Amino acid sequence: MRSFKAIGKQVLLVGFAALGLAACDNDNDDPVAVTPPPPPPPPAMASYDVTVTNLTNAQPLSPVAVIAHRDGYSVFTIGMPATAGLENLAEGGDNSMLIMEADADANVLASGSGAAPIGPAGSETVTIEVLESDVPSLRFSVSTMLVNTNDAISGLNGVDVSGLAEGDAWTGRAIVYDAGTEADTEAAGTIPGPADGGEGFNAARDDSDDRVTMHAGVITQDDGLATSALTGQHRFDNPAVMVQIERTD
């Protein structure tokens, strides 16, 4: 028979072994929960409402293109040929290519389009957001077509709004320019607006100048041009468009 002392010693050994197994079971193999750092705050933004008002008697405006940019970008330059995007706008009222051209320019910060044509005395507002850090160099350009013409455009090119504080607004008026891409015949079938319902964009440039200039105005049936699709109500004076740029945030 084994002695009590031997039995006690065995019990102690078994106990130590059990403790060793328990220690192994509680090893640090379990994954440790790590709390991820909070996401960085979103960048501060500045918001602007650009409101375009039609000042003409009977010249609907095509949906406007609104472009926020730094110095170094312009929709057009007087005396230079129009881009393909400006030609599309000036002849057919489609601003999509002009906006696409702008978005591809490194100096362009944001762009937007009006939802619909703007009738005489009507207006529309397009909201644009830019980074607060871009405000010190911020400029806006606005472009639209007078649709009862061959290729007349109006708008503002590179308005400096860097000094506008929240709640401030800048208001200006725009004259009419000739895109120089289509001859100003005013003939039936050549004007896309409701006065004629004729052809819009045509890739052929049949204006002999092929450069952007101030527009000389339209010649109508009431002026003695029998082939004109326009009447005296389609004449326009300068300015033709009013633009208000308000910083709202």
Whether residue 180 contacts residue 82, with contact meaning beta carbons closer than 8 Å, is answered with: yes
Percent with pLDDT over 70 in the chain: 88
In the chain, the number of structural domains is 1
Overall average pLDDT of the 155-165 stretch? 97
Domain presence at residue 125: yes
| Six token digits for residue 133 | 């850090």
- Supply the pLDDT for residue 30: 72
Overall average pLDDT of the 170-193 stretch? 98
pLDDT reading at 202 higher than 90? yes
Domain presence at residue 31: no
Domain presence at residue 55: yes
Domain presence at residue 8: no
- Supply the pLDDT for residue 8: 46
- Supply the pLDDT for residue 29: 67
d(CA 207, CA 210): 6
Q: What is the tens place of the pLDDT at every residue in 74-113?
A: 999 999 999 999 999 999 999 999 999 999 999 999 999 9
Question: Beta partners for 137?
Answer: none
- Supply the pLDDT for residue 31: 76
Domain presence at residue 81: yes
Q: Among all chains, which residue has been given the structure tokens 């230079």?
A: 80
Domain presence at residue 106: yes
Task: Report the CATH number at residue 59.
Answer: 2.60.40.2130
- Supply the pLDDT for residue 27: 56
Helix axes 84-92, 96-103, angle to 10 degrees: 160
Confidence tier at 28 by pLDDT (50, 70, 90) = low
Whether residue 242 contacts residue 249, with contact meaning beta carbons closer than 8 Å, is answered with: no
- Supply the pLDDT for residue 21: 44
SS3 per-residue string spanning 149-173: CCCEEEEEEEEECCCCCCCCEEEEE
Q: Is 113 helix (H, G, I), strand (E, B) or coil?
A: strand
Give the residue numbers spanning the domain of 72: 45-247
Confidence tier at 6 by pLDDT (50, 70, 90) = very low
Domain presence at residue 27: no
Residue 110, CA distances (Å) to 83, 99, 101, 103, 104 in order: 19, 10, 12, 7, 11
